[in-house]
Amino acid sequence: MKNELILILDFGGQYNQLIARRVRECNVYSEIVPYNISINKIKEKNPKGIIFTGGPASVFGKDAPKCTQEIFDLGIPVLGICYGMQLMTYILGGKVAKANKREYGTTDVKIDNSSPLFEGFNNVNGFLMSHTDYVDTVPEGFKNIGSTSSCPNAAMENAERKLYGIQFHPEVNHSINGTKVIENFLFNICNCKGDWVISSFVEDSIKMLKEKIGDKKALCALSGGVDSSVAAVLLSKAIGKNLTCIFLDHGLLRKNEGDEVEEIFKKQFDINLIRVNCKDRFLNKLSGITDPEQKRKIIGEEFIRVFEEEAKKIGTVDFLVQGTIYPDVIESGLGKSSVIKSHHNVGGLPDYVDFKEIVEPLRDLFKDEVRKTGLELGIPENLVFRQPFPGPGLAIRIIGEITDDKLNILKNADYIFREEIANANLHKSINQYFAVLTNLKSVGVMGDERTYDYTIALRAVETTDFMTGTWSKIPYDILEKVSSRIVNEVNHVNRVVYDITSKPPATIEWE
Ligand code: XMP
């Protein structure tokens, strides 16, 4: 079945992914493509509608990203958002003007609710404006359908040609009922049906993977994280025992995690799983190492070495399965931000494994869609909603040298913290929480005895993007319970502290 498609032309706006998500939330499949996609490619993709995103440029700029006029002659509805609206105006002969002052914030927009774009809206609505240039005169054939006190044309339409422009950003939460504007565009203007749902994605993917792979062999590196787990189960539903998963247990996972992964994939899904227990090998390599970047490097390299050895035992495979998801694909084209920590994921494997082709079954999905797919496939909730866990695992949560004893202390303390957060029913509202074994020892007293033991730090953050976050205001009585359980139940810990730093300036992990 061919899905209905909305193409989102990327003009560099910061909310582009949000636009794609909002469209998909309306059960219409969307794809973000570069603004200079060719007309032939657009025709080939045959979208039901096109959205131009916002962007930081001005249409007057020398290098401003532009599209050709032909796009408006295809007979496909177009919605231009912010810069997208200005560009549409500029190309179709209207007048864009430069304002002296930027209009920013949720602003009352007066709209004409007889337009199909604004069906169901009041006459005045709070939408997020964020622009300097504005549309002074709409192009011929267009009419004004919205304004603010400082922006004469905050929305415009050419109903006949199905071309629409809005100066505000409907995709962000600051715009009240913003998604409804997108929904109106999809259903009133593009005539979408809205039949893209995860269950059909799962069904179609399994069918497609079956056809593509047939009875050939595939190999998957399973980390126990959400993406690789969902990719593995999807593949196993398609090709059964022709899929082999290698799960590398480097001993740096959280308490019981290795066994849980084995249990789910071997028992529940009957997947061909090779669990490689190589804790000693990793601890040997890490012995005496205190520098966090060096720890990351050693673990990353050793991971590849072990995987390579195991893959060699299997021999050449036809397909290597990767859990790449949509944000990885669309972010990778943009400029690099400065490297604060070297991330270790399984992305480097292709250079070391003998395979013919890569298969990435989740390449088109956002994280929340990957989770929905996981639930649809019957993967347990605790795995599907697992909090992020760094590839180098607990190694970076032990400050200083890593030893087996320190690992055990951290695993037990972390387990207690997680258990109490779940008991307090906070596990869904706090996005990431864990214990850290600081390298600090201090004097304490237990019974009548002097102790000289470690300090455990607790970290808990609330965030949506993990790029910024605030420390979580966990109620004192819960912190007290966690602290008292840790010092009582975990040997060699006599002090617990709570990290009250947000990100920035701190990072989420301690390392
Ligand atoms: P920081 O500490 O930089 O972490 O604020 C941001 C988020 O990234 C996670 N993290 C990693 N995830 N591989 C990953 O897949 C890694 O090497 C890695 N290092 C940090 C961290 O847990 C947090 O969610």
Pocket test for ligand 1, best of 299, 337, 343 (most atoms within 8 A of CB): 343
Query: Is there a shared CATH topology between the 5-189 domain and the 397-498 domain?
Result: no
The yes-or-no verdict on residue 353 having pLDDT over 90 is no
The yes-or-no verdict on residue 467 having pLDDT over 80 is yes
Residue 292, preceding peptide bond in cis (omega within 30° of 0)? no
What average pLDDT does the chain have? Answer: 93
Task: Tell me how far the alpha carbon of residue 403 lies from the centroid of ligand 1, in angstroms.
Answer: 22
Neighbours of 391 (CB within 10 A): 19
Catalytic site residue from 26, 67, 131, 169: 169
Which residue matches tokens 């002659």?
73
pLDDT confidence of residue 331? 52
pLDDT confidence of residue 348? 67
Looking at residues 389-393, what average pLDDT do you find?
Answer: 93
- Would residue 419 show up in a list of annotated catalytic residues for this protein? no
pLDDT confidence of residue 162? 98
Find, among 76, 165, 169, 149, the residue nearest to 115 by Cα. Answer: 165
Strands 432-446, 449-462: pairing kind: antiparallel
DSSP collapsed to 3 states, 21-42: HHHHHCCCEEEEEECCCCHHHH
CA 214-219-223 angle, to 5 degrees, is 135
pLDDT in tens, 198-217: 998 999 999 999 999 999 99
Ligand 1 atom at minimum distance from 509 CA: 2
The yes-or-no verdict on residue 335 having pLDDT over 50 is no
- Please give the CATH number for the structural domain made up of 397-498: 3.30.300.10
Looking at residues 339-347, what average pLDDT do you find?
Answer: 46
- Would residue 169 show up in a list of annotated catalytic residues for this protein? yes
Domain ranges of the chain: 5-189, 205-384, 397-498
Ligand 1 atom at minimum distance from 396 CA: 19
The yes-or-no verdict on residue 37 having pLDDT over 90 is yes
pLDDT in tens, 416-430: 999 999 999 999 999
Ligand 1: which residue has its CA nearest to atom 7?
466
Looking at residues 315-341, what average pLDDT do you find?
Answer: 68
Given the candidates 2.120.10.70, 3.30.70.380, 3.30.465.10, 3.40.50.880, the CATH classification of the domain at 5-189 is 3.40.50.880
pLDDT confidence of residue 330? 67
Helix axes of 279-286 and 292-314: crossing angle, nearest 10 degrees: 150
The yes-or-no verdict on residue 173 having pLDDT over 90 is no
CATH class of 205-384: alpha beta
6-15, 296-305, 478-487: which is most confident: 478-487
Catalytic site residue from 26, 67, 82, 220: 82
Ligand 1: which residue has its CA nearest to atom 11?
390
* Interatomic CA distance for residues 173 and 147, integer angstroms: 20
Ligand 1 atom at minimum distance from 343 CA: 17
Task: Tell me how far the alpha carbon of residue 392 lies from the centroid of ligand 1, in angstroms.
Answer: 9
Least confident of 63-77, 349-363, 380-394, 438-452: 349-363
Looking at residues 110-136, what average pLDDT do you find?
Answer: 96
Least confident of 142-156, 320-334, 421-435: 320-334
The yes-or-no verdict on residue 498 having pLDDT over 90 is yes
